[in-house]
Amino acid sequence: MEPLLRVKDLHKHYKDGRYTVHAVNGVNFDIFPGEAVGLVGESGCGKSTTARCILMLEQPTHGKIIFKNQDLAAMSEHPLRSWRRFFQIVFQDPNESLNPRFNVKRTLKEPLFLHGLYQDSHQLGELMKRVTLEIEHLERYPHQLSGGQKQRVGIARAISTSPDFVVLDEPTSSLDMSLRIHILSLLRRLQREMNMAYLFISHDLSTVHNLCNRVLVMYLGRIIEMGTSEDVFNNPQHIYTRALLSAIPIPDPAIKRKRILLQGETPNSRDIEVGCSLQKRCPYVRQECSFPVPYTDLGKRHLVACVLAGSEIINGS
């Protein structure tokens, strides 16, 4: 099967006075039709910037975004606009992403009109049913909706053009736990019904484990481990991935887990190391870590940017 999306050597740099901020630093991955891929990592590691570059909301500094065999990064604005119906985004905070002057009807009509897809009010009613909202909500404004209702309007807007690919940028982080479960169930159902591919950005590893087929672990603008959810969660081979997973709360107090604490602080993204980006914090650092680190392929597309991946040093720790 051909990938729906191929990200090749993606870089995004920003100028900060005399310095250059390396927000995204050579990212490569594929997403296949109907697949849910999680992108995880601590705040500031480049997750949202990667997503914005993929959707061409930010112009990449370097690299290719191959979507349906077309390089979006090489397109001018006019042809790119016609492609936007095929990829959409659900933002983190619906209070920021919904126009307070638009009622729900206008919010949902806007992308349909823009792409010449609007038919009639029945079309809007079907969208509301899909996201479990009532028809009467069409006349309401954002301030008249609850947090969960606002996020479902954002989801309805994203799926209105029947996209092949949707970025979910921490879509449940502003909701309480009960609403979070409902929204995740809705997203899972919509993906199944519409065969959409997801890029799910989150720092909530438990949610990613439940929703996603594959996981990409990001640190300082680089993907340092990728693989199936089963491989990454049950057999992590990068010390950073292990440290992230060791911080997941366990609901059973009788179960004890050894917490892995990395030394020092996350370096500034202005100071990118030539070799492994974790070398100043890793307890197993060695001389070869100061050189560019290729991916070690552990099979089943489980790739790890670590010279010790698969070794007894990691697996015995």
**Rg from Cα positions in the chain:** 21
Query: Pick from 177, 185, 160: which is nearest to 90 by CA?
Result: 160
Residue 246's pLDDT is what? 85
Alpha carbons 30 and 263: distance in angstroms, whole number: 32
Q: What are phi and psi of 109, to 5 degrees?
A: -70, -35
Residue 68's pLDDT is what? 95
Q: What are phi and psi of 55, to 5 degrees?
A: -85, 0
The packing angle between helices 104-114 and 147-159, to 10°, is 20
Q: What is the DSSP string of 138-149?
A: GG--GGGS-HHH
Answer whether residue 64 shows pLDDT above 90: yes
The average confidence (pLDDT) of the chain is: 91
Looking only at the bridges linking them, the beta strands covering 19-31 and 5-16 are antiparallel
Query: Pick from 28, 22, 29: which is nearest to 61 by CA?
Result: 22
pLDDT band at 257 (very low <50, low <70, confident <90, very high): low
Q: List Cβ neighbours of 33 (8 Å cut-off, separation of 6 or more).
A: 1, 4, 164, 195, 197
Alpha carbons 195 and 257: distance in angstroms, whole number: 37
Largest CA distance in the chain: 65
Q: Tell me: the pLDDT tens digits for 6-25?
A: 999 999 999 888 888 999 99
Q: Tell me: the pLDDT tens digits for 159-206?
A: 999 999 999 999 888 777 788 889 999 999 999 999 999 999 998 888
Answer whether residue 250 shows pLDDT above 70: no
Exposed, middle or buried by CB within 10 Å (0-12, 13-18, 19+), for 193? exposed
Answer whether residue 256 shows pLDDT above 70: no
Mean pLDDT within 310-315 = 79
Q: What are phi and psi of 165, to 5 degrees?
A: -145, 130
Mapped onto helix, strand or coil, the DSSP state of residue 303 is: strand
Looking only at the bridges linking them, the beta strands covering 87-90 and 36-40 are unpaired
Q: Tell me: the pLDDT tens digits for 99-128?
A: 999 999 999 999 999 999 999 999 999 999
Looking only at the bridges linking them, the beta strands covering 165-169 and 87-90 are parallel
Mean pLDDT within 208-213 = 91
Residue 203's pLDDT is what? 83
How far is C-alpha 124 from the geometric centre of its chain's CA atoms?
28
Domain 5-235 CATH superfamily: P-loop containing nucleotide triphosphate hydrolases (3.40.50.300)
Nearest 10 degrees: Cα torsion 255, 256, 261, 266: 10
